[in-house]
Amino acid sequence: MLNAIWVGLVVVAVVVAAFTGKMEAVSKEAFEATKTAIQTLIGLTGGMILFLGLVKVASDGGLLRWIVRGLRPILVRLFPEVPAEHPAMQAMIMNLAANMLGLGNAATPFGLKAMVELDRLNPQRGSATNAMALFLAINATAFHLMPPTGTVFVRVAAGSQAPFAIWVPTLLATLAATLTAVTVCLLLQGMPLFRPRPPGDLGPPVPEPTDLPDAQLPGLDAPAAKTTPWRAAFVAGTALLLFWGLVQQWAEHAPVVGTWPFLRDTVLQHWLLPLLIFAFVAIGVVGRVRVYDVLIEGSKEGLSVAARIAPYLVAILVAVAMFRASGALEMLVGALDPFTSAVGFPAEALPMALLRPLSGSGAFAVMAEALNTYGPDSFVGMLISTLQGSTETTFYVLAVYLGVVGVRDSRHILWACLAGDLAGYATATAACHAFFG
C-alpha cells in the first residue's frame, strides 16, 4: 500500500506540474526536501537519545513494575476466558505495560508471545478468538502514558516554542481511541456476521504455532530495591520545592491572565519537559538506580532508531514536497476543505490521517514536512503532531500479529481498530481546538 501511495504522489506531481508549468518548482523542492530530511533527523536524534535513556532509568527504577501491577486486575476482568496465571495473560500484561511506556521494541516480542499462547487456547484455529480480537484492539490503538518523544523532538527541530504542548491532547486522544476500540470490539463479537467461520471455509488446516522464546524485560523479575530514607527525603524535598515554585508562579500570573490560560500557556507548554525529566530521575533515585550509567546505556538505542527512519524520512519528504510544489495538494485541499472544515478538521491534515494507519515511518515523514511548511505551532502543525501520536499503524500491527499464528478469519478486529482510529482523530481535533484553537 505504501509503495502505491509513494508512486502515486510522484507520478501525479510530475503530471500536474507538466500542465501547471511548475516543473522547475518541483525539481527545486525535491532537492530541498532531502536537505530538510537530514536537518530534521539531526534535531530528532538528540531528543531520541535523551528520552530513551530517561525511560530506561524510570523503567529500571520500578515504573514498569508499577504499571504491570496496575494492569493485572483490569486485564483479568477484560479477558475472563484466559486463566489469570496463563502465559498468555502474563505476555499481554507485559506487552501493554511496555506500550504505555513507549517501549515499542520491547513490547513487540511480548505481543507475539501473547498471540501464540492465545492460539493455544483457540478451539477453532484459523479464526481469531474473542480474546485475540480484544487484545489486538487494545494493542493497535496503543494508549501511551508517556509523551510522544519522537514527535516532540521533530517539533523542536522545526523551531517550535512549545514542543511538549501536544502531550495532554495526545494522551486524551489515545485514551479515547483505546476505549472506543474496546467498546466496539465487545459489541461486535456476539453478532452473527462476525461469528468464527467453519474450519472448512478457511482453506488448508493451520499448522500448530511455532513456540517463541520467553520475552523478558531486564530487571523486571528482580526483587524491587528498597529505597533508603535519605533518597526518599531528597526526592520529596525537591518535589515540595517545585510545587512551591509553581504556586508562586500561579499567584503572580494567574490573577492577571486567568487560571486556565496560565495552566495552558505556562504549565502545559513550559513546565512539562523539566517536570517529566525530574520525574524520571526521581523514580531512578528512589529505585536505587545508577541514574547516569543507566541513562547512557539506554540512550544508545537512539542512534539505531534514527538510522532506521532516515530512508523513510528522505523518501516521503521528497514525494510530498513534489506533490505540494506541483499544485496537486492545493487542488486536493481546495476540493475537500468545505467538507472537512465543517467538522473543524483542516484539509491540510488529511494526508497524515490517511497515511497513519498504513505506515508509521511514512506518517512520521509527512508530519515533519507539514511542520516545516505550516509551522510547528500553527493549528495545523499542532493537530498533525497530535494525530501522529494518537493512533498506531493499524494495518501493520494486524498483519504481523495475525500472521504469526496464521489467523485467516480476523472477524471484527479491523472494524474495532478503525473505530478506535476514528475516535482518536475526533478527540485529537477537539482537544486541539480546546487547547490551541
- Over 60: is that where the pLDDT of 434 sits? yes
pLDDT above 70 covers what percent of the chain? 87
User: What pLDDT band is residue 135 in, cutting at 50, 70 and 90?
Assistant: very high
**Euclidean distance between the first and the last CA atom of the chain, given in angstroms as a whole number:** 34
- Over 90: is that where the pLDDT of 428 sits? yes
C-beta separation of 189 from 130 below 8 A: yes
Query: DSSP state, 127?
Result: B
Give the cell for residue 373. 511548511
pLDDT at 41: 74
108 or 12: which leads in pLDDT:
12
Determine the average pLDDT of the residues in 112-132: 88
Q: Rounded to whole angstroms, how far apart are CA atoms 110 and 97? A: 10
C-beta separation of 128 from 407 below 8 A: yes
Q: Rounded to whole angstroms, how far apart are CA atoms 304 and 51? A: 14
**Which residues partner with 127 through β-bridges?**
409
* HSE-up of residue 289 (Cα within 13 Å, Cβ side): 30
pLDDT at 17: 93
pLDDT at 298: 78
Determine the average pLDDT of the residues in 187-192: 91
Q: Rounded to whole angstroms, how far apart are CA atoms 118 and 23? A: 55
Over residues 59-79, the pLDDT tens digits come to 788 877 788 888 889 999 999
Over residues 162-180, the pLDDT tens digits come to 888 888 899 999 999 999 9
- Over 60: is that where the pLDDT of 202 sits? no
Q: Rounded to whole angstroms, how far apart are CA atoms 282 and 304? A: 27
Over residues 213-249, the pLDDT tens digits come to 555 544 455 555 677 889 999 999 999 999 999 899 8
Determine the average pLDDT of the residues in 372-379: 91
Smallest CA-to-CA distance from 306 within 109, 107, 153 is with: 153
pLDDT at 183: 96
Domain spans, the chain? 2-204+211-225+287-436
Over residues 272-293, the pLDDT tens digits come to 778 878 988 998 999 888 899 9
Averaged confidence pLDDT in the chain:
82
Over residues 290-303, the pLDDT tens digits come to 899 988 887 876 67
- The four Cα atoms 371, 99, 111, 224 give a dihedral, to 10 degrees, of 150
Evaluated on CA atoms 51, 42, 140, 86, the torsion sign reads negative
Over residues 393-421, the pLDDT tens digits come to 787 788 878 888 888 888 899 999 999 99
